[in-house]
Amino acid sequence: MEQLKNIYNERFVDQLNEAIYEVYPSFDRFCFHRLIFQEDWEGLALKQRMRRITEALFEGLPKEYQEALGILYHVAPRFRGLSGIVFPDYVEQYGLDDWDQSMVALATFTPFSTAEYAVRPFLLKDQEKMLTQMLEWSTHPNEHLRRLASEGCRPRLPWGVSIPSLKTNPYPILPILTNLKQDASLYVRKSVANNLNDISKTYPDLVLELANVWYGKNEHTDWIIKHACRTLLKRGDTKALSLFGYHDESNEILHFRCDLDQVDIGGKMEFSFDIQAKSDNKMRVEYAIDFVKGKGKRNKKVFKVTEIQIRGGETKSYTKTHSFRDLTTRKHYPGVHTLTIIINGIGKASYDFVLK
C-alpha cells in the first residue's frame, strides 16, 4: 500500500513550483526544489514533509504576509484534497500575528482541502476570539466553513495540536454544535458527531443530556446523535443503549463456534453463532476481543456486527472473520486472547484462543 506521506512527492513539488512561478515570476524554482529535497526527505513523515514545503515557500515568497497570501490565493485552487493542507499550514506558521488576514486566508483555503489543523494554534493563542469566529462560520452558506467550525474545535482531533482547555471544559463548543445539529450536509454532520463523540469520552453525561434533548425531533439530528454515541454504545452504557431502544431481553447465544483455538499473527479466525430471541425486541449485536498488549496487559476492542429488530422465538445466524494482520493503528502480540459475543451491551458468550 502506498504510504500517505507520498502525496508529497517530486511530481507534487514540481506542479506547485510551476504554479507559483506562473503567478510570481521572481520565484526561485531551483532553490525551492533544493530546500525541499534534502538528504533526509525520504525519512520524513507526512506532516514533516508538509512543513518542509511550507518553510520552502516562505523562503521563496515575498516576506510581506498579505502579498504572499495573494499569490497563494491564485495557486491553492489547483491543489485539492489532503495535499492542499500546505496552504493553511502557511497561515498557521506565519500568520498568528495577523489575525484578520489569517481568518480570511483560512476561510479561503479550507474549501480546497481543510484548515482544521491550522486553526488549532489560533485557539491556543486566543480561545474566546477563535471560538467566536467559529460560531460565525457555523452559520456560513459554505459547508466547508461550517464543517471547519466543528472539526477545528474537536477536543481530540486526530493529528491535530491538543487544546487542553477544551478537553477539560467542552461547554464553550456547544453553541457551535447547536447551530449545526440539523445541518443538511453529511460532511458537516459527521464532524459534529465526531466532536460529540470526543466529548463523550470524558463527559458522557453531557453528551447523553444533549442526546435526550435533541433526539427524535429531526432526522439529521438523530443521525448525529446515533453516531456521536458510538463510543458509549460500545462501552455498553445503559443510558445510551436505552435511548436507542436497546434493552436486555435475555436473548440467547446458541451454537457458538470458532474454527481455531490457535491463530498466527497475520492470520484470520472465523467464528459463528446463532441468536434466539425470547421476545420481540431490538438488538445491537457486537463482538469484542481482549487483545494482549506489549506489556502483557489486555485491552478490549469492540466491533459492531449488526442492529436488527427481531421477533420472539426467531433465530438469527451470523458468521464473521477477524483478521489479525498488523495495522498502523493496531499491533498484535502473542498470548491468550478472549472473544466475546455482546448483545445490547451485555456479554453473552466467550471463547479463549491463543495468538502466536
Whichever domain contains 348, its CATH number is: 2.60.40.10
**Residue where one domain finishes, among candidates 73, 102, 118:** 118
278 part of a folded domain = yes
Q: What is the dihedral of CA 57, 58, 60, 61, to 10 degrees?
A: 100
Q: Which residues contact 217 (CB under 8 A, 6 or more apart)?
A: none
Nearest residue to 137 (alpha-carbon basis) of 82, 185, 179: 179
Q: What percent of the chain has pLDDT above 90?
A: 88
At position 189, the amino acid (one-letter code) is: R
Burial class (CB in 10 A: 0-12, 13-18, 19+), 258: middle
Residues 291/337, Cβ–Cβ less than 8 Å: yes
**Integer Cα distance of 93 and 195 in angstroms:** 25
**Residue where one domain finishes, among candidates 73, 99, 118:** 118
**Integer Cα distance of 37 and 255 in angstroms:** 59
Instruction: Give the model's confidence band at 260: pLDDT under 50 very low, under 70 low, under 90 confident, else very high.
Output: confident
Instruction: Give the model's confidence band at 2: pLDDT under 50 very low, under 70 low, under 90 confident, else very high.
Output: low
287 part of a folded domain = yes
Q: Indicate if the pLDDT at residue 313 is higher than 60.
A: yes
pTM over 0.75: yes
**Residue where one domain finishes, among candidates 87, 118, 149:** 118
295 part of a folded domain = yes
Q: What is the pLDDT of residue 295?
A: 83
Q: Where are the alpha helices (DSSP H) in 85-184?
A: 86-94, 99-109, 120-125, 127-137, 143-151, 164-168, 174-180
pLDDT for 140-161, tens place per residue? 999 999 999 999 999 999 888 8
Instruction: Give the model's confidence band at 328: pLDDT under 50 very low, under 70 low, under 90 confident, else very high.
Output: confident
173 part of a folded domain = no
Residues 78/19, Cβ–Cβ less than 8 Å: yes
Q: What is the pLDDT of residue 164?
A: 93
Instruction: Give the model's confidence band at 247: pLDDT under 50 very low, under 70 low, under 90 confident, else very high.
Output: confident
| SS3 label, residue 117 | coil
247 part of a folded domain = no
Mean pLDDT of 4-13: 93
Q: What percent of the chain has pLDDT above 70?
A: 99
Q: Indicate if the pLDDT at residue 119 is higher than 60.
A: yes
Mean pLDDT of 229-237: 94
7 part of a folded domain = yes
Residues 54/35, Cβ–Cβ less than 8 Å: no
- Signed CA dihedral, 209, 214, 219, 221: sign only: negative
Region of 314 on the Ramachandran plot (φ > 0 left; ψ -120 to 50 alpha; else beta): beta
* Structural domains of the chain, count: 2
Mean pLDDT of 162-180: 95
Q: What is the pLDDT of residue 1?
A: 54
Q: What is the pLDDT of residue 250?
A: 77
55 part of a folded domain = yes
pLDDT for 30-49, tens place per residue? 999 999 999 999 999 999 99
Query: Both ends of the chain: CA-CA distance in Å?
Result: 25
Q: What is the pLDDT of residue 303?
A: 95
Long-range contacts, stretch 256-264, CB < 8 angstroms, 24+ apart: 256/341, 256/349, 256/351, 258/339, 258/351, 258/353, 260/353, 261/353, 261/354, 262/353, 262/354, 262/355, 262/356, 263/324, 263/353, 263/354, 263/355, 263/356, 264/324, 264/355, 264/356
Mean pLDDT of 9-19: 95
Dmax over CA atoms of the chain, in Å, equals 78
How distant is the alpha carbon of residue 67 from its chain centre?
34
Angle between helix axes 204-214 and 186-200 (nearest 10 degrees) is 140
Q: What is the pLDDT of residue 4?
A: 87
Which domain range does residue 269 map to?
A: 252-355
Mean pLDDT of 218-247: 94
133 part of a folded domain = no
Q: What is the pLDDT of residue 252?
A: 87
Q: Indicate if the pLDDT at residue 280 is higher than 80.
A: yes
**Integer Cα distance of 208 and 157 in angstroms:** 21
